[in-house]
Structure 1
Amino acid sequence: MILPIVAYGADILRTTCKDITPEYPQLDKLIEDMWETMYASNGVGLAAPQINKDIRLFVMDSKQIFENQEEDEKGKYPDEPGIKQVFINAHIKELNGEEWAYNEGCLSIPKIREDIMRNETVTIAYVDENFVPYTKTFNGITARIILHEYDHIDGKLFIDYLKPLKKKLLRGKLEDIKKGKVRADYKMIFPK
């Protein structure tokens, strides 16, 4: 089932989410719905707060970026061909490498894209959908998507990384999103 995406301005997007157990109600269905929602919205990642759940869960698929890249982009990123993964109870262990810029957007903040600086690599501890534990290091585009989605479960948004002047310039657009004046190609829930 395709779920509505929570829009910028909603309190849930500023919530530090909590770990869950394998007994979390209808977890398999929730994950299935998140994949369906992410793909229907043309996203490469989706975090639980974006569908109004305050739990440490996100899904991401960096394979899509590599499948759709231009010929001259092939081989540019070390994580090619990408991964498709569920992350539950994720906690960052280490950030490494140089910070690099990449143009990011967010399903909860439609029609706004900005260059954001993030570390090249992230080491993260998490469990998968079967609650098998992992501690893995990711890099490139995959690391970037993980860090973007991880921010969501920590109550942060990509716009938090912008310089004050840039944020000020975006204030009107962000207010329009909050008020429901900006439409996306997918169903959204706007703050009351």
Structure 2
Amino acid sequence: MAGETYYPVVIRLPIIAHGYTCGFEELRRLTQHLVGDDIRGYEQEPDPLDAIDGGIEEDEKEEEDPFLTELLDVEWAFSLWIENTSAERNIQIPELWPIKCTAKEEREHKRRMKKNKGEQRNDWPQRFMLVTHKSKPYPTGKVKDNARVESEQTKKKLDEFLSLVVPNAPEVLSPKDFTFTHVPLDRVICTNIFLKHIPLVK
């Protein structure tokens, strides 16, 4: 009708992250190989509060989840090793960034926990990604073929990563431990600096 104003509807599609994923067991095995059996003690600084009358006493000590504690210790130790070794070698060793679990994955995991009466590490759904590139999907939401297909270039990035972290230990980690896939970039838990440097495949 005359006089009516129409505004275009802009649909913002998520940027897609592409790369190689592995599970927690693979990350734990790699980290143990890199820093030794004492993963929790790797480069840990003592809490200064512990030296002051035993620190601050909590009214109620929360029950510690052994698996969650190990998960955080492994992620922390691996990231710290990456930081230290990159500085020592004057190169940038790629990270394996955590991927946020979907609501469906969390529900399924809780269902398995209830069924098995306990949390099992090999059931943990979270993955860790070696990001190789990113892409913008078509307006329909379909991921572009030239971005989602594994290429010789992406394989080279995986080989380079493995040569830096396990140059002589394929039994610890090898290409067969990874799956080439893609996820929305906003599900990858990484730094803003890294986000800016991910190559875009058009």
On whether the aligned pair clears a TM of 0.5, the verdict is no
**TM-score, normalization by structure 1:** 0.27
Bigger share in strand: 1
**Which structure ranks higher in relative contact order (CA pairs < 8 Å, sequence separation ≥ 6)?**
2
**Higher share of residues assigned helix:** 2
